[in-house]
Structure 1
Amino acid sequence: MGNRPVTGGSYFSLLHLQGSLAEEFKKDGIEVKWSFFRGAGPAVNEAVANNLLDIWTHGHLPSVVGRASGLKTRLLASASRRGHAYLVVPADSQINGVRDLRGKKVAYQKGTATQLSANRVLEGHGLTEKDIRSISMDTATATAALATKDVDAVFGGTSFLSLRDQGIAKIVYSTKGDSPTYPSNSGVVAREDFINEHPDIVQRIITTAVKSAAWASDEKNRTQAFQLWSKSGTPFSNFKEAQQGEDMKQNASPLLDEYIIARYRSAVADSKKFGLIRSTFDVESWTDRRFLNRALKDLGHERFWVEWDANGKPKG
């Protein structure tokens, strides 16, 4: 957050925080360069278009926008599931829920998974983006704007819980406990050219990632994971709160099961409906499970995570 060169909240971020990916390639003299974009998903897509990134993770909307706009990418694994969004307003605001947003200045970073969640939440409460005065702001800018009351509300993620803890803001809505279609998901995505040119390197990255996912799935590692994630600037307590009531093992699952495919299909359909993309694509043919399946087999993790059906229920 605040353009810090650290991020948290997923097993993939641990590849950086624990240095495991750099260690994997150190013996080969291959440098792992991490890039963190304040412009989030749209900035990542721009970098991909200019061949400045090989493999990355971001939310479902920017992944969908990139593919729909012609970027030759492939979805290799799930990076996180059920990321929740919060509607945050100044502590003394008269806004008590989503329906009170009509005509209000509402900030969120456009082109990111939060925008898609916001559109879905608005629709579920009888509103559209046209009913609000939407303003695109990154997390740091939106945080400052909320504190100075330059905006009436913000749709954002876990980091905004700290504003409530400071008495600056209050949470008037959360996707937690609401429709299961509202939360966001993220994936591990790579350029097709990189995959074709360096399949051995891609395999090592995904295998290292699956090791990280298994580590993050172990309950005894939760505290350490929250501590590492807190280096992003979001407090330990906020990550702990965000995960309360959640199945952290399943949320860290890298599987491209029926649930993840269904969520990406929904993201494609909703993005088209909300005017965020012009053309659609087939999600299943976009995926490439070769590296994930090999990693799961080599590590003995083929049954470590439970596969979910399209409704998020355990199969079998």
Structure 2
Amino acid sequence: MSRFLNYVFSALAVTAFIMSGAHSAETDPKVVRIATVAYNLNGKTHYLGSTELASETGLDETLAKRGVKLEWVPAATAMVGPIVNEAFANKSIDFAAYGDLPPIILNGSKPRVQLVAPWGRSGNSYLVVPANSTAKNIADLKGKRIALHRGRPWEIPFANLVQKNGFKLTDFKIVNVNPQVGAAALASGSVDAFFSLSDAYNLVDKGVGKIIWSTKNAPPDWKLMGGLWARNDFVKEHPELTQAIVTSFIKANHWAAQEAHKETYLKDYASLVQPESVVRRDYEDDSVSWRDRWSPLYDQALVDHYKRAASYARESGLIRNDIDIQQLLNSSFVDKALKELNLETFWAPSRIASQQ
């Protein structure tokens, strides 16, 4: 009798397992929406290099096998943060690939999103002054007008630079404009400096600006950081689907991080928006290696970066509440993806912390 009962219970357990798997597949949403920076070039929409690459390295096919359609939701570069944050708040998107400060601001009222796949130390920030300026460093700009788009990821390295040199934001006249307006303001002489990304080189090439500081040789946690963010409720309801998406993004990171693919990435992806010469200079002479620029690890540099970013957002009044870093950073999906793809030792963690 006991053998018969054991058989019955085993059969029931197997049936329950099969049914749970079927139920899981059936409860997948029909569409997954991922927002990212978009550019319209020659009548065609192109997405931020790493996200477009993820699609080409199998993300669409991965979702299609599950009966899920992928929809990219374009966000214009001038207003990425507000556009994506609003979409997350009204649940019209499930994921977004964007920088660090906007999602911190979004989580300032209550936990809404979490970082499920970092895209690495993705880029540099630059302090540019007019070509005829005598300013040589941030100290020379005290009391001067600096164009800076508040609430964007590069505000964090600017704040780091200001604090490191013993100043406060109030020591400068911050002109809150988007990068396009900021660049025009510098060119026209309306501001004394402009803080932005690699578009700084365009001003240099036009002969209207010169770079007096950048994050190229700053500590790793001063680099721009961000990645794939997911709605908390989506992750809770669809962990397996979230895992499949994260694994696809890690495949894209791994492809791009290989030295053999560097030239292809620079020419076919990174140079879609900026001239190739600008892109190459942004990557040259950098303290972070090409491979580590794509590191998805939740290492000490990343944790330090988000702790500082959250503290800065609170202190500067961008958010009213403290951020729980443990809720903000979820490494479980990347850990599983690295193990599944045999990439556990491909990237080495950075433990270099900046001295603040």
TM-score where L is the length of structure 1: 0.88
Contact 2:125–2:157, Cα closer than 8 Å, also in 1: yes
The answer to whether the 8 Å contact 2:39/2:273 transfers is no
CA positional deviation for 1:86: 0.5
Separation in 2 of the partners of 1:109 and 1:3?
19
Which residue, out of 72, 75, 80, partners 1:33? Answer: 72
1:182 partner amino acid:
W
Q: Using a 3 Å threshold, how does the CA distance of structure 1 residues 240 and 20 change in structure 2: closer, same or farther?
A: farther
Does residue 273 (structure 1) correspond to residue 315 (structure 2)? The answer is yes
Counterpart of 1:21 (choices 29, 39, 59) is 59
Q: Identity of counterpart residues, as a percentage?
A: 29
* 8 Å contact from structure 2 (residues 301, 353) kept in 1: yes
Native 8 Å contact 2:39 2:47 kept in 1:
no
Equivalent pair of 2:266/2:280 in contact (CA under 8 Å):
yes
Alignment of 1:34-183 (within 5 A): 34-37=73-76, 38-81=78-121, 83-183=123-223
Deviations 1:37-72 (A, max 9, x none): 331223321221111221112222222222222241
Cα separation, partners in 2 of 1:229 and 1:104, compared to 1, 3 Å: farther
CA distance in 2, matches of 1:83, 1:307: 18
CA distance in structure 2 between the partners assigned to 1:167 and 1:93 by the alignment = 12
2:295: which partner in 1? 253
Is this contact kept in 2: 1:7–1:229, CA < 8 A?
no
TM superposition shift of 1:76: 0.9
Matching residue's letter, 1:88: V
- Displacement of 1:26 in angstroms is 4.2
d(CA) in 2 for partners of 1:231, 1:95: 31
Q: Secondary structure at the match of 1:242?
A: helix
* Distance in 1 separating the partners of 2:180 and 2:97: 20
Deviations 1:189-243 (A, max 9, x none): 1001211232232122111101001001100111111123344421222222222
CA contact (8 A) 1:121 1:182 kept: no
Q: Distance in 1 between matches of 2:333 and 2:159?
A: 34
Name 2:326's counterpart in structure 1: 284
Query: Residues 254-290 of structure 1, C-alpha deviation per residue, up to 9 Å, x if partnerless?
Result: 1112331222112212322333322212212333233
One-letter amino acid matched to 1:24: T
Matching residue of 2:273 = 233
CA distance 1:40–1:67, change in 2 (3 Å): same
Closer, same or farther in 2 for the Cα pair 1:167/1:12, shift >3 Å? same
Offset of residue 309 of structure 1? 2.5
| SS of match in other structure, 1:58 | strand
Larger radius of gyration: 2
**Is 1:297 aligned to residue 339 of structure 2?**
yes
- Residues of 2 paired with 1:58 and 1:33: CA distance? 13
Q: Check conservation: 2:47, 2:74, Cα contact below 8 A.
A: no
Amino acid corresponding to residue 253 of structure 1 in structure 2:
S
User: Relative to structure 1, is the Cα distance of residues 290 and 212 closer, same or farther in structure 2, using a 3 angstrom cutoff?
Assistant: same
The 2-side partners of 1:3 and 1:91 are apart by 29
What is the root-mean-square deviation in Å for CA atoms of aligned residues? Answer: 2.4
Could you tell me which runs of 5 or more consecutive residues in structure 1 were left unpaired when the two chains were aligned: none
| 7 and 94 in structure 1: CA distance in 2 versus 1, 3 angstrom threshold | farther
